[in-house]
Structure 1
Amino acid sequence: MSGLDAPDIVAAYDDVRNDKLETNWMLLSYAGAVGNKLALTQTGTGGLSELVASLSDDGVQYGYVRIEYANDKESTRVKFVLVIWIGKNTKVMRKARVSVESSEVKKVLAHHHLAVTAEEESELKEDDLVKLLRKSGGADYNGGRG
């Protein structure tokens, strides 16, 4: 697997992480890629719901999304989630390569607070991910209310 060092992937990753830009997600896949290389498929400003709507049932994709949530009445937190998507119609041999591939993707999209492997859209609900982010984030100033 290669292609992860492509300038457009690096630029999209930096854009998602940049507080001054509206881009808040990116999607990598093999769709339209030349050879066995991951390519930047899409970016957007509509958050997790827009990313989820862009996922395909017949392939493996890697999403990176910025999630902002209220920490308490006075503050918010920004966290990053890596989504490892394995569509329900993905071929068995293609699924088998995900563990090796995903470790390479994690090296490039290294700054993430949570990595989630999902096969169904229902596994990618923002409220559920925020709960996981709060649990992994240490201090919970929201009194355990999720």
Structure 2
Amino acid sequence: MLDALQVVTTVAFGLMVGVEFSVAFVINPIFNALPEDSGQLGRAHGGRMLGAVMPFWYIGSLVLVAVWAIAGWHHDGTGLVVTAGALLIVSVVMSLLLLVPINNQSKTWTPENRPEDWKEQMHRWDRFHYVRVAVLVAAFTLLVAALV
């Protein structure tokens, strides 16, 4: 049973990390290179779409990591799982305090109503997101290390 939980947790969390990584290093650079207002419109749509899904994915991943830590408490690697869970909590707190407020504004922007400093706000969101991705990659690495 613990083996199945470890696989499900690792796959679910790994897919989430992959999505966040691709947003940082693939999707947003593509949007930034699009002409005229296309990039801003794409980022707004992505903010709406991922903003609806990611809270469930983050909380679901956190629950799975917590269950793994509890179920495997007396097994090797539990310290790594607990540390991964702590890093995931850090990423959730970062999201709520730093990224979500910017995303909640930017997902409603159009070329007609966006603020003058919208590019600066997007660059700030990107910088926070790079840090969040680094935290998530570290957490995922710890989960994988706990498997071996």
Question: Is the TM-score greater than 0.5?
Answer: no
TM-score (norm 2): 0.27
Work out which structure has the larger RCO, using CA pairs closer than 8 Å and 6 or more positions apart in sequence.
Answer: 2
Larger Rg: 2
Structure showing the higher strand proportion among its residues: 1
Structure showing the higher helix proportion among its residues: 2
TM-score (norm 1): 0.27
